[in-house]
Amino acid sequence: MSFEWPWQYNFPPFFTLQPNVDTRQKQLAAWCSLVLSYCRHRKLYTLDVLEAQESPVFNNKKIERKLSVEAIQVVFEELRKKGNLEWLDKNKSRCLIMWRRPEEWGKLIYQWALQADGKAEMITMDDGKGVKFF
Amino acid sequence: MDRFVWTNGLLEMNETLVIQQRGVRLYDGDDKECCICIPLSQVIFFEEQAAGIGKSAKIVIHLHPAPENKEPGPYQHSKYSYIKLSFKEHGQIEFFRRLTEEMTQKRWENTPVSQPIPTGIGPKAGRTRAVGIVGIERKLEEKRKETDKNISEAFEDLSKLMEKTIRFKSYLLSMGIANPVTRETHGSGTQYHIQLAKQLGDMLQAPLEERGGMMALTEVYCLVNRARGMELLSPEDLVNACKMFESLKLPLRLRVFDSGVMVVQLQSHSEEEMIASALDNVSDKGSLTAEEFAKLLGLSVLLAKERLLLAEKMGHLCRDDSVEGLRFYPNRF
Let me know: does B238 contact B262? Beta carbons within 8 Å: no
pLDDT at A121: 60
Sorted by sequence, the CB contacts under 8 Å of residue B168 that are 6+ apart come out as B229
Which DSSP category does A94 fall into? E
Question: Which candidate from A18, A22, A65 shows the least CB-CB separation from B322?
Answer: A65
**Cβ contacts of B279 within 8 Å, gap of 6 or more:** B311, B316, B317, B330
Q: What pLDDT, on a 0 to 100 scale, did the predictor assign at position B180?
A: 56
Q: How far is A31 from chain B (nearest CA, A)?
A: 11
Residue A26 with chain B: CB contacts under 8 Å: 333
Which chain B residues are closer than 8 Å to A15 by Cβ?
A: 320, 322
Chain A hits for B331, CB-CB cut-off 8 Å, are 20, 23
pLDDT attached to residue B326? 92
Mutate to test the interface with B, among A9, A14, A15, A20 (most CBs of B within 10 A): A20
Contacts of A16 in chain B (CB under 8 A): 318-322
CA dist., res. B252 & res. B270, Å (int): 13
Give A123→chain B minimum CA distance, Å.
42
pTM: 0.49
B286 touches chain A (CB under 8 A): no
Which among A8, A16, A30 has CB closest to B319? A16
Please report residues of B whose CB lies closer than 8 A to that of A19: 312, 319
Give residue A27's pLDDT.
Answer: 94
B259 near A CB under 8 A: no
Mean pLDDT for each 10-residue chunk of chain B (333 residues)?
72 79 76 68 83 81 77 70 82 84 79 47 47 83 85 76 71 58 55 86 87 87 88 87 86 87 84 85 90 87 89 92 91 90
One pLDDT digit (tens) per residue for chain A, 134 residues: 688 999 999 999 999 999 999 999 999 999 999 999 999 898 888 888 888 888 999 999 999 999 998 899 899 999 999 888 999 888 888 898 888 777 887 888 888 887 776 655 655 555 555 555 54
Residue B121, phi-psi category: left (phi > 0), alpha (psi -120 to 50), beta (remainder): beta
Q: Name the residue among A15, A26, A65 with its Cβ closest to that of B333.
A: A26
Q: How high is the ipTM of this complex?
A: 0.77
- Residue among A7, A13, A30 minimizing CB distance to B320: A13
Torsion of CA B168, B169, B172, B177, to 10 degrees: 150
Contact B289, B299 (CB under 8 A): no
In Å, how far is A44's CA from the nearest CA of chain B? 27
Q: Reduce the secondary structure of chain B to three states and give it as a string.
A: CCCCECCCCCCCCCCCCCCCCCCEEEEECCEECCCCECCHHHEEEEEEECCECCECEEEEEEECCCCCCCCCCCCCCCCCCEEEEEECCCCHHHHHHHHHHHHHHCHHHCCCCCCCCCCCCCCCCCCCCCCHHHHHHHHHHHHHHHHHHHHHHHHHHHHHHHHHHHHHHHHHHHHCCCCCCCHHHHCCCHHHHHHHHHHHHHHHHHHHHHCCCEEEHHHHHHHHHHHHCCCCCCHHHHHHHHHCCCCCCCCEEEEECCCCCEEEEECCCCHHHHHHHHHHHHHHHCCEEHHHHHHHHCCCHHHHHHHHHHHHHCCCEEEEEECCEEEEEECCC
Chain B residue closest in CA terms to A65:
B322
Chain A, chain B: beta-carbon pairs less than 8 Å apart: 45
State the CB neighbour count (10 A cutoff) for residue B239. 15
Instruction: Answer yes or no: do B315 and A23 touch at CB < 8 A.
Output: yes
